[in-house]
Amino acid sequence: MSTIHVIAKVGRQSYGLGAVALNLAKQQISQGHDSAIWCLDRPEEVEWARRFYQLAPDQIRRFNTCGPVSIGYTPEMERAARDGEQPNIVHQHSIWSGLSRATSEWRRRHRTVTVVAAHGALQPWALKKSAWKKKLALFAYESENLHGATCLHACGENEISDYREYSLTNPIALLPNAISATWIESTGDAIRFRAAKNLADDSRIILYLSRITPKKGLPMLLESMHELRNQLQAWILLIAGTDEFGHQRELEAQIRACNLGQHVRFVGPLHGQDKRDAFAAADLFVLPTHSEGSPMVVLEALGAGVPVLTTKGAPWADLVRHGCGWWTDISAGGIHDALRDALALPTAALAAAGQRGRDLVARKYSWAEIASKTIRLYGWLQGRAPTPDFVHFLRDM
């Protein structure tokens, strides 16, 4: 049985989604499953992914696009789907791009089993962004892809509701993202990170590490910090990521207006050991998001032993259940209350919460477990195995 994971990017600018497909494929391969990744990324990014994830050259295949890269229109991949390799399973990661045309081509031409993971792209906030483009894509190809999928892949309970509210009746497999044992076992150097960023030894660090884009809710966090500025004292927020849509300029203006200059710093994107060092230095990780599927960065923070503050835009009720963070309403008020409580805790208490988070992800969110479940799912979709207990049907609603 063979599987092709279809995704736009796998490199350093894939913002966690590439890590999902790469880790899943790698772990499936280690369990004896024939998996590969087809993508549209630049050659140098594909080569980086091969080296970083230790995959063979034939396990990641790249295709050229036609027109704007962001649209993901790839006649080359569509031809390969039509006339070339015929896997048993096609597992697509994210939607609203021309990749959906290739997935549908496999299903139409060869009756290939297709699994489609929206990764948060059907959440209400996400649907409002570039709504007219999504309507065009829906009419042109995405409706066929979603409604025709053999199974949908949800990363959290909230995404099951998103699929149903979008009138999709397909079976839905609930398969959260996970974290690698390598990451959990890795170590970072807090002293090295502080020296590199010229941070005082006694500063307490709030870390944000993701795209700098409106979806991530940073204005709400800055508003909350402004209201709590008398409690910030030695605290500093480090914003690590790549700017999108000029959003960093907007945030810088808000920082000046709120007189938060000494408490907020932009440090650019962090990768590899630099990222691990940042987590080692952090007291608290924040993701004040409007909308997420199952953000890898939350798993990375917990896996590094850092407690997390995020919103209900991310499917992370486990933060509260297991005492390893805060899961608040998607509002400045909700973030304010959670941040106030976090700032009041001593370093030891935050570290203890982080250790509970590390224990949680090691126990519940391993790629070995998720890969095993996907292989069970593929067997059921091909009629060779019983229905997995993590598959939800319309009648279950």
Give the tens place of pLDDT for each residue, 135-150: 999 999 999 999 999 9
Report the relative pairing of strands 151-154 and 113-117 from DSSP bridges. Answer: parallel
Mean pLDDT of the chain: 94
Which residue pairs from 56-61 have beta carbons closer than 8 angstroms and sit at least 24 positions apart in sequence? Answer: 59/25, 59/29, 59/35, 60/10, 60/36, 61/36, 61/37
- The tokens for 44 are 């140098």
Determine phi and psi for 110, rounding to 5 degrees: -125, 5
The strand pairing partners of 236, in sequence order, are 205
Same domain flag for 151 and 234: no
User: What does the pLDDT read at residue 130?
Assistant: 86
Same domain flag for 99 and 143: yes
Percent pLDDT > 90 in the chain is 86
User: What does the pLDDT read at residue 396?
Assistant: 67
Residues 358, 184: contact at Cβ < 8 Å? yes
Q: What is the CATH number of the domain that holds 381?
A: 3.40.50.2000
CA proximity to 176, closest of 380, 278, 314: 314
Same domain flag for 334 and 305: yes
Q: For the residues 5-9, what does the mean pLDDT come to?
A: 97
Q: For the residues 250-275, what does the mean pLDDT come to?
A: 95
Same domain flag for 348 and 314: yes
Q: What is the DSSP letter of 179?
A: B
pLDDT band at 68 (very low <50, low <70, confident <90, very high): confident
C-alpha 274/C-alpha 324 separation (Å) is: 24
Residues 235, 206: contact at Cβ < 8 Å? yes
Same domain flag for 165 and 259: no
What ranges in the chain are assigned the alpha helix state H? 17-30, 43-53, 75-83, 99-110, 124-128, 131-137, 143-148, 157-165, 181-185, 190-196, 218-227, 229-232, 247-257, 272-281, 296-303, 318-321, 332-343, 347-364, 367-381
- For 280-319, write each residue's pLDDT tens digit: 999 999 999 998 878 889 999 999 999 999 999 988 999 9
Same domain flag for 60 and 198: no
Number of domains in the chain: 2
Same domain flag for 232 and 282: yes
Residues 268, 211: contact at Cβ < 8 Å? no
Same domain flag for 51 and 76: yes
Virtual torsion, Cα 314, 318, 323, 329, nearest 10 deg = 30
pLDDT band at 42 (very low <50, low <70, confident <90, very high): very high
With a cut of 70, say whether residue 397 has pLDDT above it: no
Same domain flag for 327 and 349: yes
- For 150-205, write each residue's pLDDT tens digit: 999 999 888 999 999 999 999 999 999 999 888 999 999 999 999 999 999 999 99
C-alpha 64/C-alpha 237 separation (Å) is: 39
Q: For the residues 201-221, what does the mean pLDDT come to?
A: 95
Same domain flag for 123 and 196: no
Same domain flag for 169 and 260: no
Same domain flag for 310 and 344: yes
User: What does the pLDDT read at residue 102?
Assistant: 96
* Owning domain of residue 156: 2-178+366-396
More confident residue, 252 or 158: 252
- The tokens for 328 are 């608040």
Which residue pairs from 43-52 have beta carbons closer than 8 angstroms and sit at least 24 positions apart in sequence? Answer: 44/11, 45/9, 45/10, 45/11, 45/12, 45/13, 45/14, 46/10, 46/11, 48/11, 48/12, 49/10, 49/11, 49/18, 49/22, 52/272
C-alpha 118/C-alpha 103 separation (Å) is: 13
Residue with tokens 């690698």: 180
